[in-house]
Chain A
Amino acid sequence: MEFMQPATWSEALAMKAAHPEATPIAGGTDVMVGLNLDHGRPESIIDLTRIRELGEWGSDDGWLRIGAGVTYTKLIDELGDRLPGLAMASRTVGSPQIRNRGTVGGNLGTASPAGDAHPPLLAADAQVELASATGTRRVPVREFFTGPKQTTMRKDELIAAFLVEPAAGPQQFSKVGTRNAMVIAVCSFALALDPARRRVGTGIGSAGPTPLRATEAERFLEGVLDEQGSWDRRTRVSEAAVTRFGELVASAARPIDDVRGTAAYRRHALSVLARRCFTWAWAAA
């Protein structure tokens, strides 16, 4: 196995161009587990941890541009106020050790339907910045995932960063797992409210082949809030509407039965999570 350690981003992109089959490694919390479980034997590995700018973040035209190598711990510490939904999700990832190593870039790279960073990125309509030796492109997160562990990223590309607007309103994230910490999601739900634009954003995790949006639920809730003039007056939303929102979220899911839970439970739990997340978010709006 060849082990490459580029010192700069352009060097990394050149290596990826020359070795399209090479496996990039950031925190290694997925890659090393895969190696230990003998799930694959990569011919070569490109270690991205020497590239300083990957671990940094800044602003870009009103958006936050966050390097693919920013760890969950750093994200919680430095961006928790601006990205509360993503920070809540980050707090549920693994253990302190995993959050110290693991990155959102790695979560996107693995593209597991259970990746906890994905639902809040979907709810906030984030973008993924992909780079290759020949150029850079930005892909909306909602187009990024194409199947279980599959994305639109080409073999010669690397994830440079993701872009997300600072929260314009309340955000929530909830994750069901069968133990109270360090658990892979049985299902999860993220919600982002944008009162100024009158927009509702959602993300569903671990209940379909990819992370999903509950588009119909979003439009329904936007309609309810518009109709009642609730965005401005913050009036109470009827229980029936909240319940309906939960049902629509549940019906957007495409879950299966597996070792972590049943499809029926996942749907049920998602309707509960959606109701609760909205109630909490609305109380804070």
Chain B
Amino acid sequence: MRVGESVQRSDGPAKVRGDFAYSSDLHAEGMLWGATVRSPHPYARILSIDASGARTMPGVRAVLTHEDVPGQKLYGLEIQDQPVLAFDFVRYWGEAIAVVAADHPEQARRAAEKVRVEYQVLSPVTEPEQALSANAPQLHPGGNVTREVKIRHGDQSARADVVVRGEYEIGMQDQAPLGPESGLAIPDGEGGVDLSIATQWLHVDQEQLAGILGLPKEMVRLTLAGIGGAFGAREDLSMQAHACLLALKTGRPVKISYSRTESFVGHVHRHPGRLAYEHGANRDGRLVYVRARIILDGGAYASSSTAVIANATCFSVGPYVCPNATIDGIVVYTNNPPCGAMRGFGSVQNCYAHEAQMDRLAAALDMDPVELRIRNAMETGSEMITGQVIDGPVPVAELLRRVKAFPSPLGAEGQGDGGGMHDLTAMPGGVSNTTHGEGVKRGVGYAVGFKNIGYSEGFDDYSTARVRLYVVDGRPRVEVHSAAAEVGQGIVTVQAQIAGTELGVSDVVVLNADTGVGSAGSSSASRQTYITGGAVKAASEAVCKRALELAESELHPASELRIENDTVVGADGKQIVSLATLLGDAVIEETREFRPRRTHRLNPETGQSNAHMQFAFAAHRAVVDVDTELGLLKVVELATAQDVGRAINPIAVQGQLEGGAAQGLGLAVMEEIQVKDGVIRNPSFTDYLLPTILDMPPVRMDILELGDPNSPYGLKGVGEPPTISSGPAIVAAIRAATGREITRVPVRPHDLTP
């Protein structure tokens, strides 16, 4: 198991067989079940809460409201504005007001229905523009603007030969992890609590929980439970505090597991947005300026909105050189469902806009759209609109050339031949038998995008790893311990590969993540392989150094030794001593923190700053068949090229490129939480549609390993870029097939028909 080898994921077989224990499968002897009382109104004043009826229901052990929160009553990743349990106001449909613990989950649910809440229903703020108007109700003490980011770069009154304008709208996507929010809290009998939980960041949960519970951190211990997908949905607290409060109150283990419907209100979503752009270019196609106003709807609470809007603004122009930019990004509070982190984190919304604009510009200039992009492509040393100069490989033009050079997919558009056998699965509409080729037109579209890897704007980005080397049954073993959350991306395997590579030992065990070791930061921002990988590498190197010092002799100075295949070897490759013999009973353990290079806050007036640590780029080509009469689609093929720096586990990298593209496709053509008057109309997988295997085409891919000079092994984060440009490429292909403008995603059949 070495870096660069394709290694099967350790959790794969169990997941495929159905043996894998997810957080919703957790169990403890004598445990109680929690249920949550939720607001039926998007905005209301809470006049009173009467839990007396619920408390006397059969099997009920506790009913808690905000009055039972011993510590901080508000929490939040960036701004502490969200009540653990609502008081005074509810600000979104489904907000938690009270929690119940009972012997049986059905008893808990029935008791939850008996909690009487008296409301004064208020008229909700459901449009971002409405939130900004002077007479809108102020949803939070600081007003309705969660954050405004300004970029003022170059000449603010630049003029250009050719100008194109466009307004774009992005619907609300959901991370839709298959595993619902769930966990099990077990009181330790001494006032503390142990929580098994599916989360993206154990330590930030721990810190928030300690504050809420009014306990020192050591008394709130977290262990990672089996995670059924995350994609940003598990960065915020959901049921964590509720389960701990109930467990501490009742002295019994308490499990909470959301239903599917509840899950849709139990986590944040991708920000919907409205983006108005103006691009100016010279006749030769070079960008002169971009002016844009980006409004994201953050919903009722801040979550990570302040960072999402920074990304949406910093990357608003795409990976192009643009000497002059005037960008205003603003994220507001409304009474819509709260929005926060989702794969792509602000760079998805703007990619739809800047790529549509590049196509419009190409049309206005009568230029090939790929050629126009290449002409403006950033390269090493290019300056972003934030003034940051990008170092390392910046292969934007190369990625575009590669996706363009892929051969066209086999088969003609609408493969029907008017009679005989039709492969319906290859048609728009699929097996539903809507066309045998009638009305089908093919389009090809291109898009490229980029985003930051790791935390930005001066946030202290680090991870911690503990590595132990010892002998069991006569063989050396390496044990790796970090708090990095395995959310399905494969960080467990990556840690084993890195430790195995650095220590030359074949038996590597990765312990389950918990708060018994220092923070790893979150499994988000495509950062975990970089940052926790870096920490495991550093700790492994330190262990290796100490082992080699043990083997050192006059003949063989430590600096000339290395470990290979469980054996210490000399400079000439000769075996010197087996690691097992060398170590005997000794245990070598080292813990290291790893930090990438520092980043800085955006200047509040100009947005100029070295705000980001690393950048990742990907390009996509989409080939789409559209039934132009029915507005149904078949994405025939996606092709992508992405620079991953160095593929630590190539098969996992391929999985990220495919899965990320599927999530991009979802937003482009079907995935949308439909919110009307603050209420989610489709909180189930019946009507929140995710792509199936008949919707998701094969992905042709070109994985470049150009090596980043600053990162461990030269790697780049890979998880998010596939989600950024895949959707915009698909929409470009739909435009090409239909000749329609299409300024809103997801594209619906009725957007494509008369």
List chain A residues, Cβ under 8 A from B240: none
Contact A184 B694 (CB under 8 A): no
- Within B703-754, the residues touching A (CB, 8 Å) are 748-750, 753-754
Q: Closest B-chain residue to A265, C-beta based? A: B750
Whether the Cβ atoms of B634 and A180 lie closer than 8 Å is: yes
* A176-B691 CB under 8 A given contacts A92-B431, A276-B434: no
Contacts of B748 in A (CB 8 A): 178, 261
In chain A between 11 and 45, which residues have their CB closer than 8 angstroms to a CB of chain B?
A: 33, 36-38
Q: Which residues of A contact B674 (CB under 8 A)?
A: 259
Indicate whether B411 reaches chain A with its CB closer than 8 angstroms. no
**Looking at chain B's contact residues, is the secondary structure mostly helix, strand, loop, or mixed?**
loop
Q: Are A272 and B630 neighbours in the complex by a CB distance under 8 Å?
A: yes
Residues of B with C-beta under 8 A to A279: 438
Would B692 and A180 count as touching, CB distance under 8 A? yes
A36 contacts which of B259, B434, B439 (Cβ < 8 Å)?
B259
The 20 sampled A-B contact pairs (Cβ below 8 Å) are: A36-B260, A37-B261, A91-B431, A92-B432, A172-B433, A173-B433, A174-B432, A175-B434, A176-B749, A179-B691, A179-B695, A180-B425, A180-B428, A180-B692, A184-B686, A186-B749, A261-B749, A265-B631, A265-B750, A272-B629
Closest to A175 in B: B432
A181-B431 in contact given A260-B687, A269-B630 (Cβ < 8 Å) = yes
- The A-B contact count (CB < 8 A) is 100
| Contact yes or no, B750 A259, CB < 8 A | no
Interface residues in B408-435 by Cβ distance below 8 A to A read 419, 425, 428-435
A179 with B670: CB separation less than 8 A? yes
In contact, B433 and A178 (Cβ under 8 angstroms) = no
Whole-angstrom distance from the CB of B266 to the nearest CB of chain A? 15
Also in contact, A261 and B750, with CB within 8 A (given A179-B695, A180-B695, A182-B692): yes
Q: Residues of B with Cβ closer than 8 Å to A?
A: 109, 259-261, 419, 425, 428-436, 438-439, 629-632, 634, 669-670, 674, 681-682, 684, 686-687, 689, 691-695, 748-750, 753-754
Taking CB atoms, residues of chain A closer than 8 Å to B439 are: 272
Give the most central of A37, A179, A186, A272: most B CB within 10 Å. Answer: A179
- CA of A37 to CA of B691 in the docked complex: distance in angstroms? 22
Residues of A within 8 A of B634 (CB): 180
Complex-state Cα separation, A33 to B695, whole angstroms: 24
CB of A42 to closest CB in B, whole Å: 13
The answer to the question of A204 belonging to the interface, with a C-beta cut-off of 8 Å to chain B, is no
A280 in the interface (beta carbon within 8 A): yes
Give the distance in Å from the alpha carbon of A283 to the alpha carbon of B109 in the complex.
Answer: 57
Q: A181-B692, A260-B687 given as contacts; is B433 within 8 A of A265 (CB)?
A: no
* With known contacts A88-B433, A174-B432, A276–B750 Cβ distance under 8 A: no
A37 to B109, CA, bound (A): 12
Does A262 make an interface contact (CB < 8 A)? yes
Q: Which residues of B contact A268 (CB under 8 A)?
A: 753-754
Contacts A180-B431, A180-B695, A273-B630 known; list 8 others, CB within 8 Å.
Answer: A92-B433, A178-B632, A179-B689, A179-B692, A180-B432, A181-B432, A182-B692, A276-B434
- Chain B residues near A179 (CB-CB < 8 A): 430, 670, 689, 691-692, 694-695
A177 contacts chain B at the CB level, 8 A cutoff:
yes
Whether A183 contacts B689 by the Cβ 8 Å rule is: yes
The smallest beta-carbon distance between B228 and chain A, in angstroms, is: 17
A269 CA / B435 CA spacing, docked (Å):
12
Name the residue on B nearest A36 (C-beta): B259
Minimum distance in angstroms from B626 CB to a CB of chain A? 13
B689 and A178 within 8 A (CB): yes
Least CB separation from A280: chain B residue: B436
> Smallest CB–CB gap between A152 and chain B, Å?
27
B681 surroundings in chain A (CB, below 8 A): 259
> Which residues of chain A are near B687, meaning CB under 8 Å?
184, 259-260
Residue from A38, A182, A269 within 8 A of B109 (CB atoms): A38
Residues of A within 8 A of B630 (CB): 176, 269, 272-273
Q: Check A180/B753 contact, CB under 8 A, given A259-B687, A273-B434, A276-B435.
A: no
Shortest distance from the beta carbon of A87 to any chain B beta carbon, whole Å = 11
CB neighbours of A33 from chain B (8 A)? 686
**Cβ-neighbour of A183 out of B419, B432, B438, B682 (below 8 A):** B432
